Amino acid sequence: MSNECIQVSAFTLALRQVRYENTTFWRNPVAAIFTFVFPLMFLVIFNLIFGNTEMALPGGTVTTSTFYVPAITALSVIGACYTNVAMGVCFSRERGVFKRVRGTPLPTWALLFGRLAIAIVVAAILVVIMLGAGALFYGVTLPTNTLPAFLVTLVLGAATFCALGLAVASIVPNADAAPAIVNVSILPLMFISDIFIRMEDSPAWVTIVADIFPVRHFAQAMHTSFNPFETGAGFEPLHLLVMAAWLVVGVVVAVRFFRWEPRR
């Protein structure tokens, strides 16, 4: 009976931590607004520049907006689940927040649960915003027959980049280095992974490099689920498998190297 009570208490503390992280996030309006405006700004800019051009997809031709809505949706998830998690964890660790929390009754797993839960909530809100903007302003057809593939891709993508965010945070030496390391580790991949530009005519070596990392596989799986001419279920088993492999890598690195105290 006592063990059951302890489990319930730990779960309650975890939920309270989620509420605390949510309050903390929204009490920093500048960061919160930037989190939502940044990807929306990319969506608007790329559609202003390229939105009226035509592009070929398997099965037919569509406007370029059909490319950018899933691409910027993927960018939004990566930003919320990778960039925000990695830098937030680094800053909290180096300020000694984690060290102090470990001296409280809050279970350590509940602390990370709160961080990751809010990251996923933010990612979900961003997905809704991107889909709404794409449907209302750019006439993009939202996934219907490929909706299960779209949802599976989103869930796996969010889990993968949360794990990788924790993994990168584990090896970043200090808070000053966090922005540089996190951005350098993800921004170049955006340019070669069908996020900012379509890479169908890129050199072979660029595609080979992009295929090593999960960003391109996430983007490709998203594009398939958004293809209005897709006759199948829209699943991309190979891309999902690579993402799952990176999820495992992220978890292993985070478990092995994660630190609760500032690095000396």
The pLDDT tens digits of the residues spanning 251-261 come to 999 999 998 88
pLDDT at residue 180 above 50? yes
Q: How far apart are CA 128 and CA 191, in angstroms?
A: 24
Structure confidence by residue, pLDDT tens digits, 131-156: 999 999 998 888 888 999 999 999 99
Structural element, H or E, at residue 61: strand 60-63
CB-based contact 18:120 (threshold 8 Å): no
- Radius of gyration of the chain, Cα coordinates, nearest whole angstrom: 19
**What are the angstrom distances between the C-alpha of 195 and each of 23, 147, 227?**
31, 20, 15
Domain ranges (residues) in the chain: 2-257
Structure confidence by residue, pLDDT tens digits, 88-129: 999 999 988 888 888 788 888 888 999 999 999 999 999 999
pLDDT at residue 6 above 80? no
